[in-house]
Chains A and B, each alone.
Chain A
Amino acid sequence: MADENQPQAPKKGLGAVLEEAKEGARALKEKVQEEAAALKEPEKTQLFRSIFRVKHDDQPRNRSLSVLTNVFFHLHPAKINRDAVRYNYTWGMGGITFFLFLVLSFTGILLMFYYHPTKAQAFRDILYLEHDVPFGKLLRNMHRWGAHLMIITVWLHMFRVFLTGSYKRPREFNWCVGVLLLVLTLLLSFTGYLLPDDQLGFWAVTVGTNMARATPLLGHEGPLGAELGMTPFNDVRFALLGGSIVDSNALLRSYIWHCIAIPLVAFIFMVVHFWRVRKDGGISGPAPVMLETEMKDPRKGPRPVIMTPSGTPPRP
Chain B
Amino acid sequence: MDWHQLWQIISTPDNVPIVAILFLIPFYTWYGLRQALANDRLIAELEADPQKAKTHHRKTQPWKPGWEKEVHVWPYLMRMEFLVALIVTVILMVWSITLNAPLEEPANPNLTMNPAKAPWYFLGLQEMLVYFDPWIAGVVMPTLIIIGLMAIPYVDANPLGNGYYTFKQRRIAILSFGFGFIVLWISMIIIGTFIRGPGWMWFWPGQTWDHNRLVFEVNRDLHEALGLPITSMWAKSIFGGLVVGLFYLGAGYAVHKLMTINEFTRRILRRMSLVQYVTIQFFFITMLSLPAKMVLRLVFRIKYVWVTPWFNV
Contacts and interface: CB of A to CB of B under 8 A. Distances in A.
Interface in B64-118: 67-78, 80-81, 84-85, 88-89, 92-93, 95-97, 99-109, 111-113, 116-118
Interface centre among B73, B108, B271 (most CB of A within 10 A): B73
Interface in B27-75: 28-29, 31-33, 35-36, 39, 42-43, 46-47, 53, 57-59, 61, 67-75
A146 B16 CA distance: 12
Contact of A88 (B35, B113, B152, B170): B35
Given A91-B31, A189-B121, A66 B101 contact: no
A231 interface: no
Contacts of B271: 297-298
Interface string A255-273: 0000000000000000000
B291 interface: no
Nearest to A82: B71
A291 B46 contact: yes
A245 B109 contact: yes
A164 B81 CA distance: 21
Contacts of A151: 17, 121
B135 A63 contact: no
B156 A96 contact: no
Interface in A105-127: 123, 126-127
A141 B99 contact: yes
Contacts, number: 295
B216 interface: no
B1 interface: no
Contacts of A215: 135, 138-139
A35 interface: no
Contacts of A80: 70-73, 76-77
B96 A141 contact: yes
A32 interface: no
Nearest to A75: B73
A79 B99 contact: no
- Interface residues of A, dominant DSSP: helix
Interface in A88-109: 88-89, 91-92, 95-96, 99-100, 103
Nearest to A296: B159
A222 B312 CA distance: 11
Contact of A73 (B36, B78, B89, B112): B78
Contacts of A279: none
A291 B168 CA distance: 11
Given A166-B162, A208-B118, A179 B146 contact: yes
Given A78-B73, A164-B163, A214-B138, A286 B53 contact: no
A204 B117 contact: yes
Interface stretch (A11-19, A21-29, A167-175): A167-175
Interface in B210-225: none
Contact of A289 (B42, B71, B122, B159): B42
A33 B273 CA distance: 78
B300 interface: no
A230 interface: no
B165 A290 contact: no
Given A76-B77, A85-B71, A163-B165, A207 B126 contact: yes
B201 to A, nearest CB: 16
Contacts of A292: 47, 160, 169, 264
B147 to A, nearest CB: 9
Contacts of A222: 134-135, 139
B169 to A, nearest CB: 7
Contacts of A213: 134
Contacts of B46: 289, 291
Interface in A291-308: 291-293, 295, 297-298
A202 interface: yes
A149 B32 contact: no
Contacts of A240: none
Contacts of A275: none
B101 A140 contact: yes
B176 to A, nearest CB: 10
Contacts of A221: 134-135
A145 B101 contact: yes
B85 A99 contact: yes
15 contacts: A76-B77, A85-B71, A141-B100, A152-B24, A155-B181, A159-B28, A162-B173, A163-B32, A163-B36, A197-B107, A198-B106, A200-B102, A202-B107, A204-B116, A219-B139
The 10 A-B residue pairs with the shortest CB-CB distance in the complex, in nearest-first order: A211-B138, A287-B163, A285-B163, A316-B159, A288-B58, A214-B134, A172-B153, A202-B107, A141-B96, A144-B101
Interface of B: 14, 16-17, 20-21, 24-25, 28-29, 31-33, 35-36, 39, 42-43, 46-47, 53, 57-59, 61, 67-78, 80-81, 84-85, 88-89, 92-93, 95-97, 99-109, 111-113, 116-122, 125-126, 129, 133-135, 137-140, 146, 149-150, 152-154, 156, 159-166, 169-170, 173-174, 177, 181, 264, 267, 271, 310-311
Given A79-B70, A141-B96, A298-B271, 15 more contacts: A73-B73, A76-B77, A80-B70, A85-B80, A130-B103, A145-B16, A149-B17, A156-B24, A167-B156, A169-B162, A189-B119, A193-B119, A199-B104, A201-B107, A207-B117
